[in-house]
């Protein structure tokens, strides 16, 4: 198991002619200013920024095509940019090149209420889509926390708190418009809910992190807003008891919409942050969607299960203000955790394991963390077996980043031993290229590389990410 630092960047030359051609094509919508480049050469990862040579602000698929073709003429890399919220260095211009900013592609192109589909340009954020859906009685459930763009969420195969019920971007993207490395525009999928028509190009581009093409339009599934929503919270004496409750809930077929785990340290952070006195124990937050009678029945069933597993303080609520109060702790967890260590930055792990191994995985992880000088609260999408350790480091201290990397390595190694994955929802980017080989084996990575070579033979599309272009 090895996890090398990102490969040293070898920036490719960006000829003045390319910049001239981009300016001729895009006018004010291309920038080489330091400020704009700096904004586009970073993301929410702990890596130092690496700046693109220019940024193009695209407004249409044809704009993207123009930029891709021009870059191709000069063998210059292309890095798609949505809202800048990715976590693993996806946006860094490690070989230089042109960042294509899609944030001005912010049109909701169509909403088909009868079909429960919406088609959006890639720069539409999940909140903007939900704003557009507000009066239709429908919603888009995928919620990765940040107000990410739908294009970026597709590219990283994002999910979040609702995935236990509604799935991830993998299950919720029906079709895509993609500009390929050679500038051709392909449409994958249709608006049919299912299809057996040839290779699943849609699922190939979902999660490809910009390395196979630029996603410019996305058709997603949308859902009826539930008639009723209820929320519950419950405290447990141990992680094992909490996870056992979730397993039994799922095995009984209770269609929970969300179930989130917060560990004792994160609760302590929340208590400090919000001046609360929650029991500093492993805690589960539930949300139920359904009919009035249905959510009541779900909550009662879960209350019984948690009681059988030594859960205490079970509270549930249906009125929006009461639900907000119950979930407030979960919602404020991220900022509360950051305040455990003023000035810190969070380096976040993202393993996902079969739920039968989750308690063991978290408990062993907690043992690792106890021996570390870093504060490391844990939150988890427990219904999926996915949890995040937020390792709080002082960005001025390289040794703390090294310590976080050491912990992350141990956590990933453990997850892989348990038949899990190094990344449940954040993607590989620069950060997990070594782990990817450990997870899938060199032959599977070779197959991925062969696909990359076939679709992007000059390695123009977001080079240096996911796996090495050369074996």
Nearest to a second copy of 16, 197 (CB atom):
197
Identify the residue among 111, 250, 278, 310 touching a second copy (CB under 8 A). Answer: 250
- Asked if 270 interacts with a second copy (CB under 8 A), we say no
| Residue in 191, 272, 319, 397 binding a second copy, rule: CB under 8 A | 191
Applying CB under 8 A, among 50, 425, 431, 459 the residue interacting with a second copy is: 425
Site string for a second copy, 451-470 (x = CB under 8 A): xxxxx----------xx---
Q: For residue 193, count other CB atoms closer than 10 A to its CB.
A: 10
Q: Would strands 138-139 and 223-224 be described as parallel, antiparallel, or unpaired?
A: antiparallel
Q: Does residue 374 contact residue 407 with C-beta atoms inside 8 Å?
A: yes
Binds a second copy (CB under 8 A): choice among 230, 256, 439, 462:
439
Q: Which of 470, 416, 402, 468 is nearest to 6 (CA)?
A: 468
Which residue lies nearer to a second copy by CB, 93 or 164?
Answer: 164
The minimum distance between CB 354 and a second copy, in angstroms, equals: 4
Contact call for residues 47 and 430 (beta carbons, < 8 A) = yes
Spatial strand order of the sheet with 228-235 comes to: 312-317, 228-235, 283-290, 256-262, 378-381, 386-393, 345-348
List the interface residues with a second copy, window 139-158 (CB under 8 A): 156-158
Nearest partner of 149 among 131, 122, 173, judged by Cα = 122
Please, what is the minimum distance in Å from the beta carbon of residue 399 to a second copy? 28
Other CB atoms within a 10 A radius of the CB of residue 24 amount to: 10
Among positions 98, 163, 234, 329, the unique one binding a second copy when judged by CB under 8 A = 163
Which one, 22 or 138, has the nearer CB to a second copy? 138
Among 6, 226, 282, 464, interactor with a second copy by CB under 8 A? 226
Please tell me whether residue 241 binds a second copy under the rule CB under 8 A.
Answer: no
The alpha carbon dihedral of 369, 373, 379, 385 has a sign of negative
Which residue's entry shows tokens 């290229």? 433
Residues 398-417 contacting a second copy, CB under 8 A: 415-416
Verify binding: residue 229, a second copy, rule CB under 8 A: no
On the CB side of 2, CA atoms within 13 Å amount to 3
User: Considering the rule CB under 8 A, would residue 354 count as an interface residue with a second copy?
Assistant: yes
Stretch that binds a second copy, among 59-67, 110-118, 232-240, 262-270 (CB under 8 A): 110-118
Among 33, 73, 324, 356, binds a second copy (CB under 8 A): 356
The structure tokens listed for 120 are 């959006």
| Span interacting with a second copy, options 4-12, 49-57, 107-115, 261-269, rule CB under 8 A | 107-115
> C-alpha distances in angstroms, 26 versus 29, 47, 62, 272?
5, 30, 12, 50
- Residues in contact with a second copy, counted by CB under 8 A, come to a total of 97
Q: Scanning residues 59 to 88, which ones bind a second copy (CB under 8 A)? A: none
3-class state of residue 396 by DSSP: coil
Q: In this chain, which of 97, 152, 427, 464 binds a second copy, going by CB under 8 A?
A: 427
Question: What H or E segment, with its residue span, contains residue 32?
Answer: none
CB of 279 to a second copy, least distance (A): 27
Stretch that binds a second copy, among 9-17, 33-41, 231-239, 428-436 (CB under 8 A): 428-436
Residue 5 sits at φ, ψ, to 5 deg, of -60, 155
Does position 135 interact with a second copy (CB under 8 A)? The reply is no
Hey, is 109 helix, strand or coil? Answer: strand
d(CA 120, CA 106): 8
Looking at the DSSP bridge assignments, the partners of residue 217 are 121, 177
- Among 159, 390, 160, 400, smallest CA distance to 266 is for 390
Q: Which of 48, 62, 131, 200 binds a second copy (CB under 8 A)?
A: 200
Residue 390 CA to residue 374 CA, distance in Å, equals 10
Contact segment (CB under 8 A) with a second copy among 91-99, 203-211, 315-323, 336-344 equals 203-211
Give min distance, CB of 75 to a second copy, in A.
20
* Helix boundaries (H) for 232-357: 239-251, 264-274, 292-308, 320-331, 333-338
Instruction: Say whether residue 445 binds a second copy (CB under 8 A).
Output: yes
Taking Cα atoms as reference points, which of 114, 298, 93, 380 lies closest to residue 210? 93
CB nearer to a second copy: pick between 42 and 440: 440
Which of 184, 272, 319, 397 touches a second copy (CB under 8 A)? 184
Residue 203 interacts with a second copy (CB under 8 A)?
Answer: yes
Question: Token pair of 236, please?
Answer: 């447990």
Out of 94, 100, 201, 269, the only residue in the binding site for a second copy (CB under 8 A) is 201
Choosing from 130, 294, 331, 413, the residue that interacts with a second copy (CB under 8 A) is 294
Q: 237: closest CA among 272, 279, 286?
A: 279
* Residue 285 structure tokens: 């937050």
| Residue of the chain from 161, 188, 235, 459 that contacts a second copy (CB under 8 A) | 188
């Amino acid at each position: 198991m090895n996890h090398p630092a990102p490969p040293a960047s070898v920036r490719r030359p960006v000829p003045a002619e390319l910049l001239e051609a981009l300016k001729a094509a895009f006018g004010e919508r291309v920038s080489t200013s330091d400020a704009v480049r700096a904004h586009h050469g970073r993301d929410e990862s702990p890596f130092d920024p690496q700046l693109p040579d220019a940024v193009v602000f695209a407004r249409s698929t044809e704009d993207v095509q123009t930029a891709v073709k021009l870059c191709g003429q000069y063998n210059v890399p292309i890095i798609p940019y949505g809202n800048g919220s990715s976590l693993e260095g996806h946006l860094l211009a490690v070989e230089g090149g042109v960042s294509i900013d899609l944030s001005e592609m912010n049109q909701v192109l169509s909403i088909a209420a009868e079909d429960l589909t919406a088609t959006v340009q890639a720069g539409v954020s999940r909140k903007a889509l939900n704003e557009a859906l507000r009066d239709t009685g429908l919603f888009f459930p995928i919620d990765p926390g940040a107000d990410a763009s739908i294009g970026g969420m597709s590219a990283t195969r994002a999910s979040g708190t609702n995935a236990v019920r509604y799935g991830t971007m993998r299950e919720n993207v029906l079709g895509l418009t993609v500009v390929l490395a050679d500038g051709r525009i392909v449409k994958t999928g249709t608006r049919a809910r299912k299809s057996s028509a040839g290779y699943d190009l849609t699922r190939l581009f979902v999660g490809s992190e910009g390395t196979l093409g630029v996603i410019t339009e996305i058709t997603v599934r949308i859902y009826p807003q539930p008639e009723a929503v209820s929320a519950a919270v419950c405290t447990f004496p141990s992680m094992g008891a909490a996870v056992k409750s979730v397993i039994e809930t799922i095995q009984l077929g209770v269609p929970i919409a969300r179930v989130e785990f917060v560990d004792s340290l994160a609760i302590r952070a929340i208590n400090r942050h919000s001046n609360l006195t929650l029991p500093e124990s492993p805690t589960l937050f539930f949300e139920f969607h359904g009919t009035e009678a249905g959510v009541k029945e779900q909550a009662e069933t879960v209350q019984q299960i948690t009681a059988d597993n030594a859960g205490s303080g079970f509270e549930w609520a249906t009125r929006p203000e009461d639900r907000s109060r119950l979930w407030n702790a979960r919602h404020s967890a991220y900022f509360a955790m950051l305040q455990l260590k003023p000035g810190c930055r969070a380096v976040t792990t993202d393993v996902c394991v079969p739920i039968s191994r989750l308690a063991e995985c978290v408990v062993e992880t907690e043992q690792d963390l106890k021996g570390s000088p870093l504060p490391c609260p844990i939150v988890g999408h427990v219904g999926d077996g996915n949890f995040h350790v937020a390792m709080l480091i002082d960005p001025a201290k390289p040794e703390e980043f090294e310590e976080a990397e050491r912990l992350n390595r141990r956590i990933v190694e453990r997850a892989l031993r348990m038949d899990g994955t190094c990344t449940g929802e954040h993607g590989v980017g620069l950060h997990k290229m070594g782990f990817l080989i450990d997870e899938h084996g060199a032959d599977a990575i070779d197959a991925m590389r062969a696909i990359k070579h076939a679709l992007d033979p000059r390695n123009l599309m977001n080079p240096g990410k996911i796996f090495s272009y050369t074996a």
